[in-house]
Structure 1
Amino acid sequence: MFSKKAFTIKEQIAQLQKRGLLIKNTVLAEKYLSNISYYRLGEYWYVMQENKEKHIFKPNSRFTDVIALYNFDAELRLLLFDVIEKIEISLRTKLIYHLSHEINPWWFSNSEIFIDSLQYSRTLSKIEEEVTRARRKDVTIKHHFKKHKDDLRFPPSWKSLEQVSFGNLSKLYGNLKHTVKSKDLIAQEFGAVNHTYLPSWLQSIAQIRNFCAHHSRLWNRNLPSTVKLLPKPPNPWIIEKKNIPKQSNKLYMHLCLMKYVLNTIQPNNDFTSKLNTLFIKYPNVDPNALDMKANWQQEPLWK
């Protein structure tokens, strides 16, 4: 049975010091722990412990390094959120445009163009929830239902899908039948050649977006998704084979895919410089924790 009692902030600091974490400024440490929970910060000092069972820290482990890791991770999430926003808006635009022209403006409510009917039903149910919620808050959706009282359909895709999450957009795309021409066309516009590769990329990006939205740790995290890499990418990628990320569960591979897609949307983006600046700002952060490669900035992908 769980029997640990809640510690005061002073007790938390005393325990950390007893376990070997160097805390020179206890007043500042109290300030941090009153705004960032002990449990949340524990995700960053865990790697500093040489005895994980007894929680004993390695020599010269410092509280300031824990805070540096935490701040690095927070700024990394903000950076990625900005990148993902551009990818999300682009995906939404391409889905609405291409499929509305190929099929009709209500293509997303046509079950016949999707592979997995059960998954489609779940996705459509979530879309209905999102549109219903928007009906109470969004002026455009409110006006549509007021003006078209007799039309019992969803608003057309250019209205409805503006209310839909990135996760549901990626599910809509991935579940489209391969005979739908727009599926390959959208993949080509993102540099993914065909529909085989893009769904796993979008799923990966959607998961990372959720981590960012919920302020979850990205640094030194094993990501759940597996992505498919193009054997011969048509756009600038990584030349040196040793620099191609091997671990799909580490963040660097996903950063590479985000950069690859972003380059098709905004060729002169500043993702490289901002990411590099972040590592310069926090020199104590180990790039290996993200599976970053040496001189990653020199690869064509990142130039």
Structure 2
Amino acid sequence: MYNKQSLTIEEQIVQLINRGLVITDSDLAFHFLSHISYYRLAGYWWPMQSEPKENHVFKTGSRFEDVISLYNFDRELRIIVFDAIEKIEISLRTKLIYHLSHEFGPWWFQKLEIFQNVPEAVKTLAVIEEELARSKDIFIKSHKTKHKDDLRFPPSWKTLELTSFGALSKIYGNLKNDVKSKDIIAKELGLVNHTYLPSWLQSLAQIRNYCAHHSRLWNKNLPGRPKLLANPPFNWITKIPEEKEMHMLYIHLCCMKYLLNIIQPHNNLKPQLIDLLGKYPSVDPNALGLKVNWQNEALWK
């Protein structure tokens, strides 16, 4: 039975000190702990603790200042990643609307016959319907006013502007493999055909949600596993992470960079990451899975 009681901030500080965390400025620690919860910061000091972790004893030399530095690094990292994914999301949305509207008409997303898993498509439509019902966007309100008797959703170029990246990735992945647009979109994004893109989008959608909810990316065991091409048509990496490293952020950053190089050829993802790592020299790049000389790979040049 769980029987721990809540601690005051002063008690939290005493507990950390008793466990071996060096806190030289209690007032500063109080300030941070009053604005960032103890449990949120615990994700950053967890690697600083000795085995077995259940004892919560910090390794010699572990400092509260380093915990805050990691926290700030991760916060700025999420901003960079979120910005990159935004560009990918908008590109995917644009391509879905354009190509599928030409192949199947403006209401293609309501044509259940073009999807592999119909129950899943129905669930996605229910989510879209909720998003439409909540929408305060003028273009949606105007459409409903002008077309009261049309019981269909607004056409894809209106409806899908409200759809989340997660829903968009599900829509794309659920399209039947003989849908021409599915391969066209993958090819335009440099992934040759529909075999690879769904796993990339799923991984990026998960990471986007972590960013949106301010969850930790640093030293995170990411659930997604992007399916990699053997010989991508555009610049890629020569040092492929091993299977045991595929849960780390680096391979996902590589996928983002690959897509961005097509969507926005002169993107600044590389200098942003280099500047961030330079700003926080105490942060171990290995916690992100970054390879030695990663910045010199053809993908990142």
Q: TM class by shorter-chain length?
A: over 0.9
Q: Which residue of 1 aligns with 2:288?
A: 290
Write out the 4+ residue segments of structure 1 that deviate beyond 4 Å after TM superposition: none
1:278 is aligned to 2:276: yes
For 1:194 and 1:248, the matched residues in 2 are separated by 22
**Matched letter for residue 95 of structure 1:** L
Q: Which residue of 1 aligns with 2:206?
A: 207
For 2:129 and 2:54, the matched residues in 1 are separated by 47
Shift of 1:171: 0.4
**Matched letter for residue 62 of structure 2:** S
For 2:173 and 2:2, the matched residues in 1 are separated by 43
For 2:263 and 2:287, the matched residues in 1 are separated by 29
Structure-2-length-normalised TM-score: 0.98
1:147 is aligned to 2:143: no
Unmatched segments (≥5 aa) in structure 1: none
Shift of 1:95: 0.3
Q: Which residue of 2 aligns with 1:244?
A: 240
CA offsets, 1:83-112, max 9 Å, x none?
011000000000000110111010000000
Where do residues 1-303 of structure 1 align in structure 2 (5 Å cutoff)?
A: 1-51=1-51, 52-134=53-135, 137-239=136-238, 243-246=239-242, 247-303=245-301
For 2:166 and 2:84, the matched residues in 1 are separated by 16
Unmatched segments (≥5 aa) in structure 2: none
For 2:247 and 2:76, the matched residues in 1 are separated by 21
DSSP 3-state at the match of 1:202: helix
**Matched letter for residue 234 of structure 1:** P
For 2:157 and 2:54, the matched residues in 1 are separated by 54
Shift of 1:298: 0.3
CA offsets, 1:40-83, max 9 Å, x none?
00110010001412111000000000001000100000111100
**Matched letter for residue 241 of structure 2:** P
**Matched letter for residue 73 of structure 1:** D
Shift of 1:248: 1.9
C-alpha RMSD of matched pairs (Å): 0.7
Shift of 1:118: 1.2
DSSP 3-state at the match of 1:178: coil
Q: How many residues align?
A: 298
CA offsets, 1:1-44, max 9 Å, x none?
21111111111111111111001111111000000000100110
For 2:165 and 2:5, the matched residues in 1 are separated by 40
DSSP 3-state at the match of 2:50: strand
Name the stretch that deviates more: 57-66 or 120-129: 120-129
DSSP 3-state at the match of 2:76: helix
**Matched letter for residue 57 of structure 1:** F
CA offsets, 1:108-131, max 9 Å, x none?
000000001111111111111111
DSSP 3-state at the match of 1:195: coil
For 1:18 and 1:62, the matched residues in 2 are separated by 13
